[in-house]
Amino acid sequence: MPQIIECVPNFSEGRDRAVIEKLVAAVKSVPDVRFLHQTSDEDHNRTVLTFAGEPSPVVEAAFRAIKVASERIDLSRHEGQHPFVGAADVVPLVPIQNVTMQACAEYAHVLGRRVASDLNLPVFLYEEAFTRADCRNLADIRKGGYEGLNQRMQADPPFTPDYGPNQLGPAGAVVIGARDFLIAFNIFLQTDDVTIAKAIASRIRERDGGLPKVKALGLLVDGRAQVSMNLTDYRVTPPHVVVDAVTRLAHEIGVEVAESELIGLMPEAAILAAAQQALGLPQLLPDRILENALRSDTDS
């Protein structure tokens, strides 16, 4: 089986179609990279691309997209709901098949060095590619957004990048790392009161004593309050458990939930877990899906 890694870069542009198309084209310009998904959000003003393949072409595609972002996205004119520090804001590499996390962390360093040397951008390495404890958590790097990072980089002692200049230009910094697969999952509330989303987010997230492996923010998106989440280990807290918890907390406050939103992809196991609960089945394994059974190479 070939080695497969996934890359899910987040770019600080969700409105300008011409720029978004160029980001996509940069990824697709690399042979042997499988382009999997694209989400652009005008309120977040953010585009998330998902692509996968063997490590070398995936790293090449990530570099080309970062290059386009650094040339086309000017953060001095950026407005959007989502915190950001870079034009190519966050670039995680994810082990999918036959690759260790350690190998992904090394690819993150390879990519980071090239971004610093060829594009002259500051690069911070996060999560499993971290070199310093204060960079492990993405939120710590991104604290205060572009302005906050800029001030900390100029402070004494300065908060210095792993690679590249200790200075932010209009393309900002690039946060590159290696992490486990995560599910980006948002729940809209039937209210425009963002303080309710923030209150639910703080009840739900692990950092404040909520559900394990859940990160959450309250945002105002498209005129509606939204609980915006990353589920960093769906085996520990799957998305349907999060939906139940957010619904319960919203009802306590007297607010209804509207629809959910999935960014990118979800592993089959998380979908099966949700269906298992909805159907009241004690277990629902992949071999019970007709299409899987027909595709399976092993008779049993």
Stretch that binds a copy of itself, among 28-36, 59-67, 119-127, 164-172 (CB under 8 A): 28-36
- Three-state secondary-structure class, residue 77: helix
Among 81, 175, 181, 225, interactor with a copy of itself by CB under 8 A: 181
Of 185, 281, 295, nearest in space to 237 by CA: 185
The three-point CA angle 188-87-181 to 5° equals 55
- Three-state secondary-structure class, residue 296: coil
Q: Which amino acid is at 88?
A: A
Beta-carbon-side half-sphere exposure of residue 154 (alpha carbons within 13 Å)? 8
For position 293 contacting a copy of itself by CB under 8 A, the verdict is yes
**39 phi and psi angles, rounded to 5 deg:** -130, 125
Among 79, 156, 254, 299, interactor with a copy of itself by CB under 8 A: 299
Site string for a copy of itself, 66-105 (x = CB under 8 A): ------------------------------xx--------
Rounded Cα distance, 181 and 117, in Å: 28
For position 236 contacting a copy of itself by CB under 8 A, the verdict is no
Q: Choosing from 82, 109, 240, 251, which is the catalytic residue?
A: 82
For position 287 contacting a copy of itself by CB under 8 A, the verdict is yes
**230 phi and psi angles, rounded to 5 deg:** -115, 125
Rounded Cα distance, 295 and 287, in Å: 10
Active site residue 82: yes
Among 101, 220, 253, 275, interactor with a copy of itself by CB under 8 A: 275
Give least dist CB 261 to a copy of itself, A: 7
For position 253 contacting a copy of itself by CB under 8 A, the verdict is no
Query: Residues of 38-73 as b/e, b for ≥16 C-beta within 10 angstroms?
Result: ebbbebbbbbbbbbbbbbebbbbbbbbbbbbbbebb
For position 296 contacting a copy of itself by CB under 8 A, the verdict is yes
Among 3, 15, 16, 34, interactor with a copy of itself by CB under 8 A: 34
Number of residues that bind a copy of itself (CB under 8 A): 48
- Residue 212 in tokens: 């394990």
Which parts of this chain interact with a copy of itself (CB under 8 A)?
4, 28, 34-37, 50, 52, 96-97, 181, 185, 187, 239-240, 243, 257-262, 265-268, 271-272, 274-275, 277-282, 284, 287-294, 296, 299-300
Residues acting as catalytic residues: 82
